[in-house]
Amino acid sequence: MYKDIDILVLGSLDMDLTVETDRRPYPGETLKSRAFYKSPGGKGNNQAVAIARLGGNVAFAGCVGRDSYGEQLVANLAKNNVRTSDILTLDNIDTGLAFINVFRGQNTIISYQGANSQCTIERMRHCEGLIERATILLMQLEIPIDTVIWAASIARRSDTMVVLNPSPAVPLDDELYGSIDVLVLNKFEAQELLGMEVKEDADCEKMIAMFLDQGVKNVFITLGDKGVMYNYKGTVKRRPAYNVKVVDPTGAGSAFTGGLCYALTRGMDIDRAADYASAVAAIAITRMGAQSALPSAMEVERFLATPRN
């Protein structure tokens, strides 16, 4: 199959509404914020922009509402050199929203799915040819799971690599597990999917083995400031996190996933791709915002070339 697109992201588009506070509010309490800002978001959206910032050829398929937020999100993707012709604008439903509270370098997020919930198989059939022509199909779970399973099956028969970021974590069936080439998730999502707690490295190794037994080919479990664990050539490896000052961790997972997909389309092996993705995430968390924090390829190369303790 002829491949003329590096990565197709089939996923979510949200507008992020973020407040910074000195502490978390108590139940029933009204708390003043230190700052408020609005920015494009949604895991799929953030991952697409992460890839495009690095220089990847990326297309997006998804849904927005016919409102100002939807217009802004599509325009922002286009400005970042992401192909937007496969994004549908829907009537009678609002664009997805995320309400984010940032507090001492940590965040809590409440998501409203909105138009993302309407990314049904029927609505997404128009991008079947796009899936077939992509080197990588990247998805998350902020759109209906049936659509994810359908798209993965198209990719599997088309020799398109399937990368899944199962967030938010919902139960996955055997058919989907068997279609996943690369599973990228954090330890909390892994715990939710497998029903076990991560207390030490051995637990992560066991989780990776369990995912592999279900048919997944490669697994990356991100551990925040503890780095990332992944399988490569029959062994489980750990890559320590880069030591940076955390300003806003909101987009860390999407930065890592986008960086990983970009690295894989550039022929990097799994070890090198893990390093590259970790660097993308490390740079992103030193800045405010999810998309505004995402680095360019030049910034990543400069970061990787800088000696570190």
Residues near 270 by Cβ (< 8 Å), separated by ≥ 6?
218, 230, 232, 233
Q: Is 289 annotated as a binding residue?
A: yes
User: What sign has the CA pseudo-torsion 276, 281, 282, 283?
Assistant: positive
The radius of gyration of the chain's CA atoms, rounded to the nearest angstrom, is 18
Q: Is 142 annotated as a binding residue?
A: yes
143 pLDDT above the threshold of 90? yes
| Percent of all residues in the chain with a pLDDT value above 70, rounded to a whole number | 98
Q: Is 284 annotated as a binding residue?
A: yes
CA separation for the pair 280, 271 (Å, rounded): 15
Residue 15 token pair: 């507008």
3-state class of 123 per DSSP? helix
Q: Is 224 annotated as a binding residue?
A: yes
In which band, very low, low, confident or very high, does the pLDDT at 307 lie, cut at 50, 70 and 90? confident
Q: Is 4 annotated as a binding residue?
A: no
Closest CA to 235 of 274, 264, 199, 188: 274
Kindly state the greatest CA–CA separation across the chain.
Answer: 58
CA separation for the pair 279, 91 (Å, rounded): 40
Q: In the block, which residue shows the tokens 């690095």?
A: 54
Q: Are 41 and 142 in contact (CB under 8 A)?
A: no
pLDDT, tens only, 218-248: 999 999 989 999 998 888 999 999 999 998 8
All structural domains of the chain: 5-305 (3.40.1190.20)
Length of the chain as a residue count: 309
* pTM over 0.85, yes/no: yes
Q: Is 225 annotated as a binding residue?
A: yes
- Give the strands of the sheet with 106-112, arranged side by side: 35-41, 14-20, 96-103, 106-112
Q: Is 227 annotated as a binding residue?
A: yes
In which band, very low, low, confident or very high, does the pLDDT at 114 lie, cut at 50, 70 and 90? very high
pLDDT, tens only, 77-110: 999 999 999 999 999 999 999 998 988 777 788 8
Q: Is 226 annotated as a binding residue?
A: yes
Q: Is 248 annotated as a binding residue?
A: yes
Q: Is 287 annotated as a binding residue?
A: yes
- Residue 158: exposure state from Cβ atoms within 10 A (0-12, 13-18, ≥19): middle
Q: At what angle do helices 270-284 and 43-54 cross, to 10 degrees?
A: 110
Q: Is 42 annotated as a binding residue?
A: yes
CA separation for the pair 215, 132 (Å, rounded): 21
One-letter amino acid for residue 211 of the chain: F
Q: What is the pLDDT of residue 116?
A: 98
Residue 221 token pair: 């479990």
Q: Are 135 and 7 in contact (CB under 8 A)?
A: yes
Q: Is 181 annotated as a binding residue?
A: no
Q: Vertex 193, ends 273 and 163: CA angle to 5°? A: 30
Q: Is 30 annotated as a binding residue?
A: no
